[in-house]
Structure 1
Amino acid sequence: MSLLQPLSSAATFARASERVTTSAVVPARAVAARKVDAPAENDGYWSITASLGTGGLSLSSAADATGRAAALTDIAALGIETTTGIVMDIRDRLIEARSPGADRNALNAEIGALKEQLAATAASSTYDGQNWLHLEAGQRPKVQSVVASVSRSGPGELAVNLADFDTGRSVVTSSENAADGVLTRAHAGLTRSGGTYAYFLLDANAAVPTSSPVREVALADSTNSAELDGMIAAVDSMLTGLYEAGASLGAMRKGIAGDDGFLDSIPEMIESAVGERIETAMTGDEALRAALQVRDQLQAAGLNMANGDMRALSDLFR
């Protein structure tokens, strides 16, 4: 009997040692859950973080692309809005010039200053190397494609939706072909008295200028009422073109704005999802670890009791 007790105690100790080893692995796995950088470390956690994290990175890149498109459209729209306001100021000066006794030379100086503002506004409406309001020499209007939205077409697949914008709708000045810009092209028509007119507002020194007998909108003491009517009508035509440009840019921006904020929030949602998945797994590991610790404590207590009984029996038979 004295031989059986030590053997039983040794077996119990061996099993307890095995449990202690198992319980030591659990907290190590829980701690490592947040630090998995390769599949070899923990393929389960790697699968979770890689699949969700990659989607977050893709959507983050998509958000950057739509943000760029939104900024480009906003800059162009702001430039058109500013240009429209300045052209309306020029129109007011032309109307004032019809008043008897108006100082047309002074009004023309004001119009000249406003023209400089127009040229500066068009030239500065640039974002990320693109300008939808002004064309340099050698450039012509073209269709620009931007990322308007991004959607999921299937598990792990992103569908990038592009929107096309024809810059011919928004160009106001051109140093290549004057006919490409709303303010550099000729606007022809009839005055109220039945006379013909053909005027442009800005001279951008285009390689292909407007053809004669087109004249620039400008005032002089010799400017007559029919010429003023023609200038005002030409400026009205320019304003119509600017309104149309603003409407086109507004429609473009609306399509981009619908996805902008949503895409920004998705990476945060994915990051939260990754955290919750790991927290859930870690919570299970922690519960298992606690149970193993309690079991180990009970086994240790039982082992102590068994060893105590063995010593008592040994003393009895001595």
Structure 2
Amino acid sequence: MTSILTNAAAMAALQTLRAIDNGLETTQARVSSGMRVETAADNAAYWSIATTMRSDNRALSTVADALGLGAAKVDTAYTALENVIDVMSEIKAKLVAAREPGVDKTKINDELRELKSQLLSAAQSASFSGENWLYNSNLSPLGTKSVVASFVRSANGNVSVATLDFNTANSVLVDIKDPSRGYLTKAIDADLLQETPTATPRYYHLIVAPGSTAPASSTEIVIDGSTTYEALDDMISVVDNLTKQLTNAASTLGAITKRIEMQESFVATLNDVIDKGIGRLVDADMNEESTRLKALQTQQQLGIQSLSIANSSAENILQLFRQ
């Protein structure tokens, strides 16, 4: 039946054209944005996951920056310690040279004084971003220093920040307020370092930092013409013991540096993996979308043609009323 009130064919063609236009609009949006899930309306579950992971990835990027800052602090402390160890070896060599008969101990002491000044300078200079792990001028200890290492999201959705911790008690060289907290300022009993201790304490310290006081009942490592061989032996033992302790401290910092490097590499890889995972959830397949776009454009043209034919069929009724 043909009706001038209801054109069923035109209505069907129009409905089809609307569906094609909706599909074309969706495909064009995917092609222009490169994403098949751009808003929550596209796929609420995937959009929620992708949004959370993007937020976590930004946090991981900040962790990477924090690791770089932490690495710089550790490297600064390690470099200074390495220099101090070299100077300590030189001091030990000078003390051994002072044990030779007939040597001018006063001249050697002049060299020792300059070497000790270098030790103090290295400790004071080992500062990065306002932090110095080798030199303390505060009443309280420097304590434990933390380097942000990772951003962690648990299975139940809780988040936390993991850190790498280093106790600066293992690295402080000079402590003005409490000499016993610094390797170079503390007193060491030379008697305990002998193969056969005599139970007669003989305390020595290496330097006295400006603004501080010498450890009680302790003798600074200074030599002159009256310095005995026994005293020189004690000083050599103390310097050697300090060098070993400083070497252990440098080894610890070196291990932390290696750990930071490994963590930096892991965080960078994890960032890439998360980005790739997000892409799998929300990115559009451009090959597929371009093919669909071409097909929808063709369907749109056919839909318009069908609607035109359906509308023109009603006009043919006018021919029946012509004479």
Superposed, which structure 2 residues align to 1:1-318 within 5 Å?
A: 7=7, 10-11=10-11, 14-15=14-15, 17-19=17-19, 21-30=21-30, 31-32=32-33, 46-47=47-48, 49-154=50-155, 156-190=157-191, 197-205=202-210, 207-212=212-217, 214-280=218-284, 285-300=289-304
1:153 and 1:43 map into 2 onto residues whose CA distance is 22
Identity of aligned residues (%): 28
Offset, 1:271: 3.0
Bigger shift: residues 33-42 or 110-119: 33-42
Offset, 1:98: 1.6
- Contact 1:149–1:256 (CA under 8 A) maintained in structure 2: no
Amino acid at match of 2:113: G
- Contact 1:52–1:274 (CA under 8 A) maintained in structure 2: yes
Residue segments in structure 1 that go unaligned for 5+ positions in a row = none
Provide Cα deviations, 1:16-60, integer angstroms capped at 9, x if missing partner.
Answer: 642553254224422246699975898677535412211201222
Query: Which SS does the other structure have where 2:92 is aligned?
Result: helix
- Contact 2:109–2:224 (CA under 8 A) maintained in structure 1: yes
State the TM-score, normalizing by the size of structure 2. Answer: 0.79
Residue segments in structure 2 that go unaligned for 5+ positions in a row = none
Offset, 1:181: 0.8
Pair 38,306 (structure 1): closer, same or farther in 2 beyond 3 Å:
closer
Offset, 1:183: 0.9
Offset, 1:298: 3.4
Query: Which SS does the other structure have where 1:280 is aligned?
Result: coil
1:106 and 1:238 map into 2 onto residues whose CA distance is 23
Bigger shift: residues 144-153 or 231-240: 144-153
Offset, 1:71: 2.9
Provide Cα deviations, 1:93-152, integer angstroms capped at 9, x if missing partner.
Answer: 111122233233332222222112111111121223222211114242423343344444
Offset, 1:235: 0.6
- Contact 2:23–2:296 (CA under 8 A) maintained in structure 1: yes
Amino acid at match of 1:118: L
Pair 315,150 (structure 1): closer, same or farther in 2 beyond 3 Å:
closer
How many corresponding residue pairs?
317
Query: Which SS does the other structure have where 2:100 is aligned?
Result: coil
Offset, 1:209: 3.0
Query: Which SS does the other structure have where 1:221 is aligned?
Result: coil
Offset, 1:86: 0.8
Amino acid at match of 2:274: I
- Contact 2:36–2:42 (CA under 8 A) maintained in structure 1: no
Provide Cα deviations, 1:155-209, integer angstroms capped at 9, x if missing partner.
Answer: 6544433344322121111111111111111122236896863221111145453
Query: Which SS does the other structure have where 2:110 is aligned?
Result: helix
- Contact 2:150–2:162 (CA under 8 A) maintained in structure 1: yes
Query: Which SS does the other structure have where 1:18 is aligned?
Result: helix
2:149 and 2:292 map into 1 onto residues whose CA distance is 49
1:300 and 1:40 map into 2 onto residues whose CA distance is 29
2:16 and 2:64 map into 1 onto residues whose CA distance is 55
Bigger shift: residues 300-309 or 11-20: 300-309
Offset, 1:274: 3.3
Pair 222,269 (structure 1): closer, same or farther in 2 beyond 3 Å:
same
1:38 and 1:301 map into 2 onto residues whose CA distance is 34
Query: Which SS does the other structure have where 1:162 is aligned?
Result: strand
Bigger shift: residues 153-162 or 219-228: 153-162
Bigger shift: residues 235-244 or 28-37: 28-37
1:305 and 1:179 map into 2 onto residues whose CA distance is 100
1:286 and 1:44 map into 2 onto residues whose CA distance is 25
- Contact 2:7–2:310 (CA under 8 A) maintained in structure 1: no
RMSD after superposition: 3.8
Amino acid at match of 1:280: A
Pair 107,3 (structure 1): closer, same or farther in 2 beyond 3 Å:
same
- Contact 2:20–2:299 (CA under 8 A) maintained in structure 1: no
State the TM-score, normalizing by the size of structure 1. Answer: 0.80
